[in-house]
A and B are shown apart, each in its own frame.
Chain A
Amino acid sequence: MAAIETLVKDLGPKKFSLRGKIWTVLLVAVIVAGIIAYIDQLIQGQQVTNMRDYALWGIYISNFVFFVATSFVGSVTVAILRLTKNSWRTPFVRIAEIIAVASIIMAGITIMIDMARPDRLLNLFVHARLQSPITWDVIIIPTYIVISLLLLYFPLLPDLAILKNHFKKTKPKLSKIYGRLSLNWSGSTIQKKLQSRAIHIICILIIPVGLLLQTVDAWLFSTTYRVGWDSTNFAPYFISGAFVAGVGSLVAVIYVVRKVKRLEHYITEYHFDKMGKFLALACFIYIYFNINEYLIPAFTSKKAESIHLETLFSGDYAFPFWLVTIVGLIIPALILLFKAGRKPKTMFVLSLLVVLGSWWKRYIIVTPTLLHPFLPIQGVPESWRTYFPSLHEWLITGATLAMALLIITFLVRHLPVIPIQRTADEQKDDKLKTAEV
C-alpha cells in the first residue's frame, strides 16, 4: 500500500499555494462584478446591453453556444478514450469530466441570463411546447448535467474511500465528508461489479445525449429562415466545432493543472503528443465542415447568401472571420502536425488560440446574420445597425467564464484529478507485465 500513499500525496487534494489563493480571489472578484452588473440588468431591463431589435441576440447567446460546445468534451473523451480502452487516457478523463460539468452548468446559467423575464422561468415547464427547440434544450441540458455529474462521481468512489482513510487522523471532519461521498465504498467484488456496470451504462448514454445536445443547439439557429443559419449542414458543423472547443480547453486546463500540481511525472510529453494529435484531428474535421459551410455555398449560393458570405469574406466581419479561421484554426492545426508542435508549452498556447477562436467564432455565427435581415434596416436609430457588447455584457460574460473556472478550480482542488485507484492498478499491471517478461 506504500504505492497508494505516494499516489495520494502526489495526486490527492493539496492546500492552495499563495498563487492558488490569489487566483481564487481574483475569480471571485470578477464574479462579484458580474453579479452586480446582472442585478442592474434585472432592474433596468436588457437595455443595459447593446442588443436591440435587429441584433436581438448577442454575446450571451455566443457564450451559451460556446459553453455547450465545450461541455462536449465529456462525451468525446468518453466516446473515444474510455470505450476504446486507450491506456494513455487515464490522466485526462477526470479533468475532461470536470470541464464538462463546469461548462454545461454555466451554459444553463448563461441562457437564463439572456432571458429578459427570468421571473417567468417556470413558464418553460408550465406552458412547455414541444415544437420549440428551446423546450428541447430545457429537456436536454439538465439531462446532460445529471449524466455528466454521475460520470464524474461514479469513477470517483474508490478514490473517495482512499481519501477517507488517508485523512482519518489528520482531518477527521474532511475524512467524514469523503466517507459520506464514497457511499461506504469498500472495494468488494459486488461493489466493483456494480460500479463498472453503472459507468458503462452512463458512458453509453452520454454519447447520444451529447450529440443531441449539440444538434439541438444547432437547430436553435437552423430552424429559422435567416440567411447564414438556415443550413442543413449546421448540426454536424456544430458537433465538429464542439469537438475542437472541448479538446482545446481540455489541453489548456491539463497544462495548467499539471504545472500547478507538479504532475509532470504522471502527465508526460507522451500524453501531450497524443493529445496534440487528437486536437489536430478535431481541427481538421472542423476545417472540413467550414469549407462545406462557407466555401461551397460561395460557388452556388443565391443572392442573399452571397451578400452574407461577402460580409464575412471581405466586408464588415472579414477581419474577425479570417482571424478566427486562420489564427484560431488553420495555423494551430498545421503546427500540431509536427512533433515539435506537440510539446506541452507550444500546445498550451495553441490550445488557448483554438479556444479563443472557437468562442469568437460563435459570435460570428450569431451577429452578422442578425444584422442582415431580409428587409432593410430602416426607421430605427443608426446605432442599431451594429452590435458590440456593452460593459454590462462584458462584465457578465467575464463572470460566467470566471464561474466556470471557479467550479473547475474547486473540483481540481478537492478531488484527485488523476484517478488514484486506477493509476495504482495500472502500475501494478505494469509491474506484473515486466515481471512476466
Chain B
Amino acid sequence: MKNNSHKSRRIFLNKGVKATLLTALGSLGLVKVASKINANSSEGSGDMVELMTTDGTLIQIDSTEVQAMPSAHTDEVAYNVREGMPNRKFVMVVDLAKCKNALKCQQSCNKHHYITGENAWLKVYEMQETKDTAPYWLPSMCMHCDKPACVTVCPVDATFKRRDGLVLIDNDRCIGCRFCMAACPYSTRVFNWSEPKQEFTLNMDMINHHPSPEHGGMPSQIGTVDKCDFCPHQIVKNELPHCVTACPNGVFYFGDKYEDTVTNGEETLRFSQLLKDKSGYRMMEGLGTEPNVYYLPPTDRLVEFEEGLEFYNEFQSVESPEE
C-alpha cells in the first residue's frame, strides 16, 4: 500500500518535471516557429531562425533542427485528489460592499451540492459589530485555511489539506467524531445527523459519477461531515465555483494566488492590488488559521443594507425539498 503510493508519487513527480520542461521550451516560442517551418518544409539549410534562450541571448538555428513539441497545456496532467492540482493556489475574495443578501449564491451552492439538511455550507450572516456601527451582510463559507484547525484534529486524515490550498473531506473515511466541527472557529462544517434525503435530487446526476472529495455532497453520507469544497469539480472544467457565477452582484471573486488574478465572471482583477486598494482582510486573522478567503470591508457601500432584509431568514438556510 505504502509502496504503491510512493510509486505513484514518483511517476507523478516525473510527469511534473517533464511538464515544467515542456513549458520552458514552449516559452522559447519553439512551437510557433516550428509550425511555421513545417508549413514551408524547406529541406535546405541556410534558413536560419533567430531564437532567444532562457538567459536572454539571441541565437540562430537552422530551421530543420527545430521541431514541434506537444504543448504542456493540451496534455492534461492527472493529479492525485489528495495532493491537489500542481502549481496552483486558490483564493476567494468577497466584497462586502456589494452584498445585499440576494442569497443566489446559497441557493446555487445548495442545489449543486444536493444539500438536503437544515444547515447550508454557505451562509450570509446579518452582522453588526457594535450598536453604533452600520450593519452589513457577511457571506461565509469554508476559509480553506492554510493552518486548518479541522485538519490538525482529525484522527483519521478524513479531512485533509492539499497543496493547491483546498481543504477537502473524504466521506468514505470520516468516523463521525465531529472533532473538526468543534475545532473550526468559523462554524462552517455541517453534519449528516440522519440519512441524507437525496434520493430525488441526486439519482439522475449520479449516473457515471464516481464519488470523490472533489465534489462534496455527491452523495452525502450519514454520520459524516460536509462543508464547502471550493468546487474543484468546477475548476477542473475551467469554470468558476457555483456561488461565484450565481451572484447577481459580483460579490465573489475566485482565482489563483500564484497567477495573482481573481475574477467574479465579469471583471478580472489583480489579486494583490485589489487587496491593497480596498484594504482587504481575513476573518479572525488573530487566530492564526491563515484563511484563503479574503474580505473587502463594507465601506462605501453600493447597496442599502435594508434591501437584503427581505430575503433574510433567521431560521432557515436550505429550502426544504417539498417546495
A120 and B173 form a contact (CB under 8 A): yes
The answer to whether B175 touches A129, judged by C-beta atoms less than 8 angstroms apart, is no
Contact A115 B175 (CB under 8 A): yes
Does the CB pair A132–B153 fall under 8 Å? yes
Bound-state Cα–Cα, A129 to B155, Å: 5
Distance of A51 Cα from B181 Cα, bound (Å): 12
Q: Are B179 and A132 in contact (CB-based, < 8 A)?
A: yes
The stretch of A133-141, A170-178, A310-318, A408-416 in contact with B is: A133-141
**CB nearest to A52 among chain B residues:** B193
A53–B183 CB distance below 8 A: no
Known: A45-B192, A45-B223, A117-B223. A123 touches B120 (CB 8 A): no
Contacts of B40 in A (CB 8 A): none
Q: Is the CB of B153 within 8 A of A223?
A: yes
Bound-state CA distance A114–B175 (Å) is 10
Question: B207 at interface (Cβ–Cβ under 8 A)?
Answer: no
Q: Which residue of A lies closest to B140 (CB)?
A: A375
Whether B154 contacts A129 by the Cβ 8 Å rule is yes
Which of B59-67, B239-247, B313-321 forms contacts with chain A?
A: B313-321
> What distance in Å separates the Cβ of A50 from its nearest Cβ neighbour in chain B?
10
Given contacts A124-B155, A225-B183, A374-B186, contact A379 B315 (CB under 8 A): yes
B119 within 8 Å of A (CB atoms): yes
Residue of B whose beta carbon sits closest to that of A44: B194
Name B's interface SS: loop
* B118 with A134: CB separation less than 8 A: no
Count chain B CB atoms within 10 A of each CB in A49, A117, A382 and give the residue with the most. A117
The smallest beta-carbon distance between B169 and chain A, in angstroms, is 13
State whether A127 touches B181 (Cβ < 8 A): no
Q: B177 and A115: CB pair below 8 A?
A: yes
Q: How far is the CB of A221 from chain B (nearest CB, A)?
A: 8
Q: Check B191 for interface membership: any CB of A closer than 8 A.
A: yes
Using Cβ atoms and an 8 Å threshold, which residues of chain B touch A384? 118-119
- Select one of A49, A126, A132, A220 contacting B154, CB under 8 A: A132
Is B194 a contact of A45 with CB atoms below 8 Å? yes
A379 touching B119, Cβ below 8 Å: yes
Given A374-B187, A379-B316, CB of A116 within 8 Å of CB of B149:
no
B191 and A53 contact, CB distance less than 8 A: yes
Checking A44, A45, A225, A382 against B149 with a beta-carbon cut-off of 8 angstroms, the contacting residue is: A225
Known A51-B193, A379-B119, A379-B120; contact A127-B313, beta-carbon cutoff 8 A: no
> Known interface pairs A46-B193, A52-B193, A224-B183. Does A129 touch B174 (Cβ–Cβ under 8 Å)?
no
Q: In the complex the two chains form, is A53's CB within 8 Å of B119's CB? A: yes
CB of B265 closer than 8 Å to a CB of A: no
Partner of B155, one of A56, A57, A134, A380: A134
Interface string of A225-244 (1 = CB under 8 A from B): 11000000000000000000
How many B residues have CB within 8 A of the partner chain? Answer: 49
Contact of A117 among B125, B152, B175 (CB under 8 A): B175
CA distance A101 to B21 in the complex (A): 63
Give chain A residues whose Cβ lies under 8 Å from the Cβ of B152.
131-132, 223
Interface check B24, CB cutoff 8 A? no
Docked complex Cα distance between A226 and B289 (Å)? 13
- Which residues from chain A contact B189 at a C-beta distance below 8 Å? 53
Instruction: Encode A375-400 as 1/0 by CB contact (under 8 A) with B.
Output: 11111111010000000000000000
Q: Are B313 and A379 in contact (CB under 8 A)?
A: yes
C-alpha spacing A226/B180, complex, angstroms: 12
Contact of A47 among B193, B284, B287, B289 (CB under 8 A): B193
- Contact residues in A for B192 (Cβ distance below 8 Å): 45
Which chain A residue shows the least CB distance to B182? A224
Q: Is the interface of A mostly helix, strand, loop or mixed?
A: loop
How many residues in A have their beta carbons less than 8 Å from beta carbons of B?
A: 47
Q: Does residue A121 face the partner (Cβ distance < 8 Å to B)? A: yes
Contacts known (A45-B194, A52-B193, A129-B154); A379 close to B178, Cβ less than 8 A: no
User: Which among B153, B174, B195 is the interface contact of A45 at CB below 8 angstroms?
Assistant: B195
A373 in the interface, Cβ–Cβ < 8 Å? yes
| Cβ A116 vs Cβ B153 within 8 A | no
| Contact with A380, one of B119, B177, B182 (Cβ below 8 angstroms) | B119
Compute how far the CA of A118 lies from the CA of B193 in the bound complex, rounded to whole angstroms. 14
Interface residues of A in 5-59 (CB under 8 A from B): 44-47, 49, 51-54, 56-57
Q: Is A213 an interface residue (CB 8 A)?
A: no
- Name B179's closest neighbour in chain A (CB-CB): A134
A370 within 8 A of partner (CB): yes
**Distance between Cα atoms of A378 and B140 in the complex (Å):** 12
CB neighbours (8 Å) of B292 from chain A are none
The complex places the Cα of A374 from the Cα of B157 at a distance, in Å, of: 25
Give Cα distance in the complex from A128 to B177, angstroms.
14
Contact (Cβ within 8 A) A116 B176: yes
A-contact bits for B56-77, CB 8 A (1 contact / 0 none):
0000000000000000000000
Cβ of B224 within 8 Å of any chain A Cβ, yes or no, is yes
Interface pair B125/A376, CB less than 8 Å apart: yes
CB distance from B197 to the nearest CB of A (A): 11
User: Which residues of B from 155 to 177 have beta carbons under 8 Å from A?
Assistant: 155-158, 173-177
The verdict on B126 contacting chain A, using a C-beta distance below 8 Å, is yes
Taking CB atoms, residues of chain A closer than 8 Å to B123 are 378-379
The distance in angstroms between the C-alpha atoms of A128 and B158, with both chains bound, is: 10
Q: Find B173's partner among A57, A123, A225, A370 (CB 8 Å cutoff).
A: A123
B155, A128: Cβ atoms closer than 8 Å:
yes
Residues 105 to 121 of chain B near chain A (Cβ within 8 Å): 118-120
- Shortest distance between the CB of A73 and any CB in chain B (Å): 27
- The A-contacting residues of B in range 92-137, CB under 8 angstroms, are 118-120, 123-127
Is there an interface contact between B156 and A114, defined as CB atoms closer than 8 Å? no
What are the 7 closest A-B residue pairs judged by CB atoms, nearest first?
A: A116-B176, A116-B223, A379-B317, A134-B155, A47-B194, A132-B155, A47-B193
Interface pairs (17), CB distance under 8 Å: A45-B192, A115-B177, A116-B191, A120-B173, A127-B173, A129-B157, A132-B179, A133-B153, A134-B153, A223-B153, A225-B289, A226-B182, A226-B185, A374-B185, A375-B140, A379-B314, A379-B317
Having A225-B287, A374-B185, one finds 12 other A-B pairs with CB under 8 Å, namely: A49-B193, A52-B193, A120-B175, A123-B156, A123-B173, A129-B154, A134-B177, A225-B149, A370-B182, A381-B315, A384-B118, A384-B119
Chain B contacts to A: CB under 8 angstroms: 118-120, 123-127, 138, 140, 149, 152-158, 173-179, 181-183, 185-187, 189-195, 222-224, 284, 287, 289, 313-317
